[in-house]
Amino acid sequence: MAQHAAGGGLGRPVKGCFVSAEESDRWRFVKDSKTETEEPDRTPTTDSTACLPFVTFESGELWRRAFLEVRMKLLSCLVLLSLTGGELRGGTWLVSPSESIQSAIDAATPGDVVCVLPGTYAQTLNPAGKSLVIRSVAGPDQTILDGAGGLQIVNVFLGESSATVIEGFRLRNCSGRALKILASSPTIRGCVFENNSGGATSIVEIGASPRFEDCVFRNNSAISGGAVLVFANARATFDRCVFQSNASTQSGGALWSSAALQVSLSNCVLAGNQAVGNGGAVFYQGSGLGLFVVNCTVVDNNSGSSGGAIYQQFGDSSVVNTVLWGNGSELVGAAGVLSVDHCLVEGGWPGANNQSSPPAFLDRSGRDYRLRINSPAIDAGRNNAVTSGISRDVIGNPRIQAGLGTPGTSSPAIVDIGALETKRPVSVRPPRPTGTLHRP
């Protein structure tokens, strides 16, 4: 049975807890992205805040391991404190690989935290309608929920709200959807969905309105919606997520939506997805509020038919502040209203302030989609499309920063186009001399 920290609870994180200089050096990424310098700063630091949101392009992949690992290490510190008699603020359940995560969930009461230790778990989970936080201690690299060829790993279908949080797991090897959400609205954070032959997640029925944050969907496949399927009056929100190398044998290489009330993608990267039919990255046919794509980078996706980036069968869609490049036929609106503005679209597209110049990525072949200093996407977006709920980019940088402008002058803060915001260079003035100036 999972251990219950009866005298413990989660408190305030202690800055620097379990973060060594060596680890900070390994994951730190503080390069000034307004320059074209290719090497990251390797200066060691013991400041834990220096290695939170970041991106590395190891093996051509976007990643935020530092963000997850540092946060999970802080959590492990708090768990240890709770087990040694900290002040009780709620139940904490600690689960090891030899134990059942579901047993801890069943024993927990709303408001409890279920902490899962590193290991591989071939188990099926169900939050049982409770407002629980179910999170790994060491992040998705070390905490794996393995479907072992089964249909589902996590089922959320008892009306769970956003207070039900699933965080920091790798869900893999399902022949069905690894995560199935039915008429529920959980928060899914910092998870990796990979190698699921029936897709990563399905979101169905009215009342379903989950939110996905800082998640990675890669190498998943399905008939429709290689990674994500949304339909039957559901809503879904994806913020700071990466969809990479997913595939559909019909339509929607990364995401397929039909009859959904609303689908929102913000600060996301969709790269290298493919569909045999329409919508190399996204296939949308819907009613209700529509499809919203804001500050995304949609690049190098492929459709065997139409709409290499986005295919709208019918319904209304809005695409703003987004790069669409290298997808073949970028956008197709078969019916309904497809509104596109302040975007960078290969081949061009009608709409306010759209551009067709190359985006000037740092390293497109290496899937490094940061912008070079000469990119036309810098300071070219529409600020009022960036709401408070999407105020940071895919790696956690503030979404609107001051523009390049003319040296010595101030320029307005305008959001960049795409999933990654470039940083304004920090100008440091030399100290004013003091004392007597002696001339030779």
Q: How many Å apart are CA 32 and CA 423, to the nearest integer? A: 6
Q: What is the pLDDT of residues 327-368, one digit of tens each?
A: 998 898 878 889 999 999 999 999 999 999 999 999 999 999
Residue 117: both structure tokens together: 């230790």
pLDDT at 383 over 80: yes
In a domain, 263, yes or no: yes
Q: What is the pLDDT of residue 289?
A: 78
Q: What is the pLDDT of residue 425?
A: 61
In a domain, 255, yes or no: yes
Q: What is the pLDDT of residues 105-153, one digit of tens each?
A: 999 999 999 999 999 999 999 999 999 999 999 999 999 999 998 889 9
Residue 298 to residues 47, 263, 312, 317, 374, Cα–Cα distance (Å): 34, 16, 15, 15, 20
DSSP secondary structure code for residue 332 in this structure: E
Q: How many Å apart are CA 314 and CA 418, to the nearest integer? A: 25
Q: How many Å apart are CA 211 and CA 398, to the nearest integer? A: 20
Q: What is the pLDDT of residue 424?
A: 66
Q: What is the pTM of this model?
A: 0.81
How many Cα neighbours within 13 Å face the side chain of 179?
32
Query: Contact at 8 Å (CB) between 392 and 267?
Result: yes
What integer is the mean pLDDT of 78-84?
Answer: 49
Q: How many Å apart are CA 201 and CA 257, to the nearest integer? A: 12
Higher local confidence (pLDDT), 308 or 7: 308
What integer is the mean pLDDT of 42-61?
Answer: 30
In a domain, 61, yes or no: no
Q: Which of 148-152, 223-227, 285-289, 408-412 has the highest mean pLDDT?
A: 223-227
In a domain, 338, yes or no: yes
In a domain, 86, yes or no: no
Q: What is the pLDDT of residue 1?
A: 52
pLDDT confidence bin for 317, thresholds 50/70/90: very high
Backbone region of residue 227 per phi and psi (left: phi > 0; alpha: psi in -120 to 50; beta: other values): alpha
In a domain, 44, yes or no: no
What integer is the mean pLDDT of 15-25?
Answer: 28
With H, G, I as helix, E, B as strand and everything else as coil, classify residue 66.
helix
With H, G, I as helix, E, B as strand and everything else as coil, classify residue 440.
coil
Residue 66 to residues 49, 126, 139, 189, Cα–Cα distance (Å): 10, 28, 10, 14
DSSP secondary structure code for residue 65 in this structure: H
Cβ-proximal residues to 387 (8 Å cutoff; 6+ apart), any chain: none
Q: How many Å apart are CA 314 and CA 337, to the nearest integer? A: 8
Q: How many Å apart are CA 253 and CA 273, to the nearest integer? A: 5
Q: What average pLDDT does the structure give for the chain?
A: 80
What integer is the mean pLDDT of 155-182?
Answer: 96
Q: What is the pLDDT of residue 24?
A: 30
DSSP secondary structure code for residue 374 in this structure: T
Nearest to 393 by CA among 264, 281, 270, 295: 295
Q: Among 179-188, 197-206, 383-392, which is the least confidently predicted range?
A: 383-392
Range of the domain at 228: 224-424
Q: What is the pLDDT of residue 48?
A: 27
Q: How many Å apart are CA 50 and CA 41, to the nearest integer? A: 11
Count of Cβ atoms closer than 10 Å to residue 436 Cβ: 5
pLDDT at 88 over 60: no
Q: What is the pLDDT of residue 134?
A: 97
Q: What is the pLDDT of residue 209?
A: 94
In a domain, 244, yes or no: yes
Number of domains, the chain: 1
In a domain, 13, yes or no: no
pLDDT at 41 over 90: no
Q: What are phi and psi of 215, to 5 degrees?
A: -105, 155
Q: What is the pLDDT of residues 236-246, one digit of tens each?
A: 999 999 999 99
Q: What is the pLDDT of residues 202-224, one digit of tens each?
A: 998 888 999 999 999 999 999 99
pLDDT at 255 over 90: yes
Higher local confidence (pLDDT), 425 or 433: 425
Q: What is the pLDDT of residue 82?
A: 52
Higher local confidence (pLDDT), 427 or 140: 140
pLDDT confidence bin for 78, thresholds 50/70/90: low
Alpha helix positions (H), 108-171:
none
Q: What are phi and psi of 51, to 5 degrees?
A: -125, 35
Q: How many Å apart are CA 206 and CA 77, to the nearest integer? A: 40
Nearest to 255 by CA among 277, 234, 233, 273: 273
Nearest to 362 by CA among 417, 308, 301, 420: 420
